[in-house]
């Protein structure tokens, strides 16, 4: 078989490193997709924390032990020891 002359326009896909360019581009795209997915998850986490307000205590809610004691209701301390 006669030697094949070097033709620059054919060298790209035919050379051994031709697939490396495609593989590196694929890995770049993969990293880009992974980064976008991570950013989206971070945005969703941030949104959830903004949407969920911290529970505030209503004045109409059940009174605390201190408030009840302030009204003169005394608790038996021995009942706490039994728990």
For the stretch 48-61, pLDDT in tens is 888 877 667 666 77
How confident is the model over 6-42, as pLDDT tens digits? 666 655 555 555 566 677 888 999 999 999 999 999 9
Backbone angles phi, psi at 62, to 5 degrees: -60, 135
Domain coordinates of the chain in residue numbers?
Answer: 12-52
Report whether 11 contacts 4 (CB < 8 A): no
Q: Is the pLDDT of residue 65 over 70?
A: yes
**In whole angstroms, what is the distance from residue 40 CA to residue 34 CA?**
10
Express the helix, strand and coil content of the chain in percent, nearest 5 each: 65, 0, 35
């Amino acid at each position: 078989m006669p030697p094949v002359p070097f033709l620059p326009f054919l060298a790209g896909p035919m050379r051994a490193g031709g697939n490396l360019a495609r593989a590196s581009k694929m890995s770049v795209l993969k990293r880009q997709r992974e980064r976008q997915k991570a950013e989206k998850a971070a945005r969703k986490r941030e949104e959830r924390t903004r949407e969920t307000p911290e529970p505030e205590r209503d004045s109409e809610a059940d009174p605390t032990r201190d408030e009840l004691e302030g009204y003169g209701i005394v608790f038996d301390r021995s009942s706490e020891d039994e728990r």
